[in-house]
Amino acid sequence: MAAQITDKHRIVVIGGGPGGYESAIAGAQLGADVTLIERTGVGGSAVLTDVVPSKALIASAEAAVSIQDADELGIQFFVRDDKENARRPEVAVNLGKLNQRLLRMAQNQSDDIRRQLKDAGVRIIEGHGRIVADGEVSVTAGTAGEEFDHVEYDTLVVSVGASPRELDSAKPDGERILTWKQLYDLETLPEHLIVVGSGVTGAEFASAYKSLGAEVSLVSSRDRVLPGEDTDAADVIEEVFTRNGMNVLSKTRAESVVRDGDEVVATLSDGTEVRGSHCLMAVGSIPNTADLGLETIGVKTTDSGHIVVNRVARTSIPNVYAAGDCSDFFPLASVASTQGRTAVFHALGDQVHPISRRNVASNVFTYPEIATVGWQEKDVKEQLRSGRVYKLDLAGNPRAKMQGFRDGFVKLIAGNNLGTIIGGVIVAPRASELLLALSIAIEQRLTVDEVAESWAVYPSLSGSIVDAARAMHRPTD
Which segments of 187-236 are extended strands (E)? 192-196, 215-219
Evaluate the CA torsion angle 193, 198, 200, 203 in order and state its sign. positive
In this predicted structure, what is the pLDDT of residue 147?
65
301 — phi, psi (to 5°)?
A: -130, 165
In this predicted structure, what is the pLDDT of residue 357?
85
In this predicted structure, what is the pLDDT of residue 3?
42
Q: What is the pLDDT along the chain (477 residues), one digit of tens a residue?
A: 344 445 799 999 999 999 999 999 999 999 999 999 999 899 998 999 989 999 999 999 988 888 877 777 888 877 777 777 777 767 788 999 999 999 999 999 999 999 999 999 999 999 999 999 999 999 998 655 566 789 999 999 999 999 999 999 999 999 999 999 999 999 999 999 999 999 999 999 999 999 999 999 999 999 999 999 999 999 999 999 999 999 999 999 999 999 999 999 999 999 999 999 999 999 999 999 999 999 999 999 999 999 999 999 999 999 999 999 999 999 999 999 999 999 999 999 999 999 998 899 999 999 999 999 999 999 999 999 999 999 999 999 999 999 988 899 999 999 998 999 999 999 999 999 999 999 999 999 999 999 999 999 999 999 999 999 999 999 876
The helix, strand and coil proportions of the chain, stated in percent and rounded to the nearest 5, come to: 35, 25, 40
Q: Are strands 247-249 and 254-260 parallel, antiparallel or unpaired?
A: unpaired
Residues 6+ apart with CB under 8 A from 125: 35, 36, 37, 38, 139, 149, 151
Cβ contact 216:206 at 8 Å: yes
In this predicted structure, what is the pLDDT of residue 143?
55
- Secondary structure of residue 219 in the 3-state scheme: strand
- Secondary structure of residue 267 in the 3-state scheme: strand
- The number of C-alpha atoms within 13 Å of 298 and in the hemisphere containing its C-beta is 5
Ordered alpha helix ranges (H), 70-120: 95-120
Task: Give me the long-range contacts of 407-410 (CB less than 8 A, separation at least 24).
Answer: 407/236, 407/239, 407/240, 407/368, 408/236, 408/368, 409/232, 409/233, 409/236, 410/464, 410/465, 410/467, 410/468
In this predicted structure, what is the pLDDT of residue 1?
37
